[in-house]
Amino acid sequence: EVRGVIFDLDGVLVDTAVHHFGAWKAIADQLGFSFTEAHNERLKGVSRMDSLNILLEIGGVTLAEEEKQKLAAQKNEQYVSKISTMDAGELLPGASNLLTELQSENIPAALGSASRNAPLILKNTGITPYFEAVVDGNDVEKAKPDPQVFLLGAERMRVPPEDCVVFEDAQAGVDAGRKAGMTVIGVGSPSDLQGAHAYISSLAETNAAHIRKVHEGRQT
Ligand code: G16
Ligand code: MG
């Protein structure tokens, strides 16, 4: 039985990937190497410091810890200045309808995001009240693909992990959901995202009935 639904934030509810990309690209420009959208795929769902380490690896740059902290702070400053002007218009298709439907069916929702900026994004897009629990990058020490972020979401909803369905757009997140023993619906294509129980291209393609059907029909 589906007793809770857990949402990733970036790429599932809102499209902030473009803002992350712009801010990381500015850092790469400053360090003198190119950083493309294809490179950016590797950063999706990955924590801020891990993202910086991947970026530096792509550029073949080695830096001292102190310098890395400065760059991560600079990236975040640019990112926060973008998301501080976000509004409900930046919710992805279907997000608002699905949250409303789940609430009317008394199925609790949780957020399971790697972003430390998640609370600000929920607030600016007006969806905070739909969440029974919010777990973000401030709450966990082990990042996705570790299941901690989703297990904590289930715990805070007081729902067993096996009764939860997760929506994820990043491979690390799909892996985390599977390790948590949850049903995972991938937002994206099966070629980019391996191991989900079902795939949709946006939340506009799902609803409570579809979520139940995927959960009840899962074989693995
Ligand atoms: C998100 C993004 C990642 C980002 C991470 C940390 O995760 O997908 O690209 O690096 O959060 O964000 P911040 O620097 O704001 O703490 P998710 O899990 O919501 O997709
Ligand atoms: Mg994501």
- pLDDT of residue 7 exceeding 90: yes
Q: Is 50 tagged catalytic?
A: no
Ligand 1 atom having least distance to the Cα of 173: 18
Q: Which neighbouring-strand residues pair with 164?
A: 4
| pLDDT at site 57 | 98
Beta strands in 62-200 (DSSP E): 109-112, 131-135, 164-168, 183-187, 198-200
Flag whether the ipTM exceeds 0.95: no
**pTM, to two decimals:** 0.94
Please check if 44 is assigned to a binding site: yes
Q: Is 10 tagged catalytic?
A: yes
Per-position DSSP letters for 21-85, written without gaps between them? HHHHHHHHHHHT----HHHHGGGTT--HHHHHHHHHHHHT----HHHHHHHHHHHHHHHHHHHTT
| 46 to 78, 148, 210, 211: CA distances (angstroms) | 18, 14, 28, 26
Q: Cα-atom radius of gyration of the chain, to the nearest Å?
A: 17
Digit-coded pLDDT (tens) for 155-202: 999 999 999 999 999 999 999 999 999 999 999 999 989 999 999 999
Q: Is the CB of 16 under 6 A from ligand 1?
A: no
Helix (H) or strand (E) holding 152: helix 148-157
Q: Whose CA is nearest to atom 13 of ligand 1?
A: 115
| pLDDT at site 219 | 86
- pLDDT of residue 41 exceeding 90: no
